[in-house]
Chains A and B, each alone.
Chain A
Amino acid sequence: METRAKKFTAAQLALVIAFCAAIAAVFVLLLVLPKHAGELSPLEFRTLAELPFAGKSAQKLSDELVRGELSDNVDSFLEDHFPGRSFFIALNSYYLRLTGRNTNQPVIWGREGRLYDAPLPAHSEQFDKNRQKLFEFAEANGLETYIVDIPASALAIADKLPAVHPDYYDGDYVKALAESGFTYVPDLAALYKAQPDPDALYYLTDHHWTMQGAYVCYADLCEKLGAEPVPESAFEREGYEFFGSFYRESGLWLTKPDTLEIWRSPVLDEVTTAIGWGERATVHKGVYDEEKLKEGEVDKYAAYLWSNNALTVIENPNGSGETVMLVKDSYGNSIAPLLAMNYSRIVMLDTRYYTSTMPLPSELIAEYGIEKLIVTFGTESMITDSGLAFLR
């Protein structure tokens, strides 16, 4: 009679032992390695998952268990604290890259170290609402309106895109805005392509325009606003090593850093920046948060005007006497210091963070006698942000 029990060969046994040992090693490392729960990951720039059981009552844990949230929390914790997590993320990204893939959503890997945003959708209902809202607000308050829609870098620096890539529709949104009756809507992609070095106008590892990119737009805008652009030579430039949002999302940790520039001027040293409103306003001297420029700070772009705040008022005692309103997303933080060289006051609204308890924008317009509205939005904000509803 044939025996059912089959003997393992030495090789099979070694494989089983190695497999079990690998799993055991990961488990042990998971237990003994230091945990960084709730801390900011400098590479991924996000807060790592908290211990799923920490500080929770038995009632809360049982509620989470029933709702399926506890297992999600355990998964998140294990993912974030998996031994060698950063190494494995990079391994995956470089493997994909070396095997011919040119994207690890939402980032597209271009040539010469340039990273790109994945394309935005071709149609957006929110865009139509926002365009209508801006038009109505400008009409109701008798404002000259200058809309700067900053397209993805892929439009201005197309030559570094991979040969095969999806289509970008940012230009269609800019065109639609230009046909909507606003005072001025620049075609920034065309303007940038006409510059001697378009590559210098967007960061390699981040979605934002560089200070140079903001300056090109500022100089163009000044012409239409009837202001005299301050020449580049009036600024002293400082460079700081910077890794941007694409870098964090790409997993390509060996990518070279960008240089983030701070443009200094004695005029800007005299400027005050008030963040918040009423009794809660915090007033700073200058336009840069020096703390964010220090060694080890991950997000140096946040140095511009103390990052994104719902309401900021910049005052220049040496300005032209005029006040303008700037409705912006993060792109506006680097062009606002340039505009502050000209104007006495810039009332800056970030509608993504605005609330119903803040002053009505139309009240601010009346209070400061504002006649000009400048909007600087990246295309993504222009087609997704619902905060423009606060313009009333």
Chain B
Amino acid sequence: MKNLLKAAVCAVLVCAMAFALAACGGNEPAPAETKDYDVIDIAKSVSENVSFEDEYLTAVADIAFELNRDEIALDSVAEENGAKQAAVYVSGAYPEMIFAIKAVDANAADQVMKAIEKILDNYEKNYTNYGPEQVSKITSAVKVIKGQYVFVIVSNDNAAAQTYLNGLLG
């Protein structure tokens, strides 16, 4: 009986340790994907099918300026037929946005995500004092790195946005 108890306690401790290690695992990038996505189409689809408080969420036309302003290195973004493979939607009234970017490789995707996380941090700082009800949208943002692809969504319903994005990415 005593040995059984000891074994049970050990098992519980091992499980706890496994969970703790998993919790310390950090935001590891997913292994490289071979699947190809059209980031422009995905961003458009998200803008039309996910709930945003801002009904005027708009695609940025001058993508080079936007990426530069966001401190996303232009040479880290893939280019096809002379066009950068990136779509950014922003709101002028709420901290809502969509980033869908094809980076040149998985390492570049990590750098792109770091730059976007900096933007989210700035938004969180600005809204903490002057619109705290918006902060939870930012802190629960959908952030996905899939190989060389980066997707970030800040919406009115990030859980639904995550499900919708998962469906698009397959």
A residues contacting B by CB (< 8 A) are: 38, 40, 45-47, 50, 55-57, 59-60, 65-68, 70-71, 245, 276-277, 279-280, 299, 302, 307-311, 330, 352-358, 386, 389-390, 392
Contacts and interface: CB of A to CB of B under 8 A. Distances in A.
Q: How large is the interface on B (under 10, 10 to 19, 20 to 34, 35 or more residues)?
A: 35 or more
Interface string B36-71: 000000000000000000001011111001100100
A276 B93 contact: yes
A280 B66 CA distance: 22
B163 interface: yes
Contacts of B140: 50
A298 to B, nearest CB: 9
B130 A277 contact: no
B107 interface: no
B1 interface: no
Q: Which of A45, A46, A354 has the most CB of B within 10 A?
A: A46
B85 to A, nearest CB: 18
Given A57-B163, A67-B25, A356-B90, A308 B61 contact: no
The 7 closest A-B CB pairs, nearest first, are A68-B23, A355-B90, A357-B58, A356-B60, A71-B23, A356-B66, A46-B132
12 contacts: A40-B132, A65-B22, A66-B22, A68-B22, A245-B129, A276-B92, A280-B92, A308-B130, A310-B92, A311-B92, A355-B60, A357-B58
Contacts of A353: 92, 126
A50 B157 CA distance: 13
A70 B90 contact: no
Given A68-B26, A307-B131, A358 B92 contact: yes
Given A60-B159, A309-B93, A357 B23 contact: no
Q: Which of B88, B129, B131 has the most CB of A within 10 A?
A: B129
A16 B62 CA distance: 67
Contacts of B92: 276-277, 280, 310-311, 353-355, 357-358
A42 to B, nearest CB: 11
B24 interface: yes
Contact of B130 (A310, A330, A358, A392): A330
A47 B133 contact: yes
Contacts of A386: 69, 122
A46 B128 contact: yes
Nearest to A310: B92
Interface string B6-42: 0000000000000100111111100000000000000
Contacts of B111: none
B69 A390 contact: yes
Contacts of B136: 38, 47, 50
B61 A357 contact: yes
A47 B91 CA distance: 21
A357 to B, nearest CB: 4
Q: Which of B25, B59, B62, B69 has the most CB of A within 10 A?
A: B69
Given A302-B130, A390-B69, A47 B93 contact: no
B61 to A, nearest CB: 7
B93 A356 contact: no
A352 B92 CA distance: 10
A392 B26 CA distance: 39
Given A68-B22, A280-B92, 11 more contacts: A38-B136, A57-B163, A70-B23, A276-B93, A302-B130, A308-B130, A352-B126, A356-B65, A357-B61, A357-B90, A392-B65
Contacts of A308: 126, 130-131
A56 B136 CA distance: 15
Nearest to A207: B129
A56 B126 contact: no
Contacts of A65: 19, 22-23
Contacts of A392: 65
Contacts of B90: 355-357
A245 B91 CA distance: 26
Contacts of B132: 40, 45-47
Contacts of A68: 22-26
Contacts of A55: 159
Contacts of B129: 45, 245, 330
A274 to B, nearest CB: 13
Contact of B69 (A276, A307, A330, A356): A356
B162 interface: yes
A40 B133 contact: yes
A55 B131 CA distance: 23
Contacts of A47: 132-133, 135-136
Contacts of A40: 132-133
B98 to A, nearest CB: 12
A346 B63 CA distance: 30
Interface in B78-106: 88, 90-93
A362 to B, nearest CB: 13
A261 B139 CA distance: 34
B22 to A, nearest CB: 6
Contacts of A277: 92
A40 B132 CA distance: 8
Contacts of B62: 356
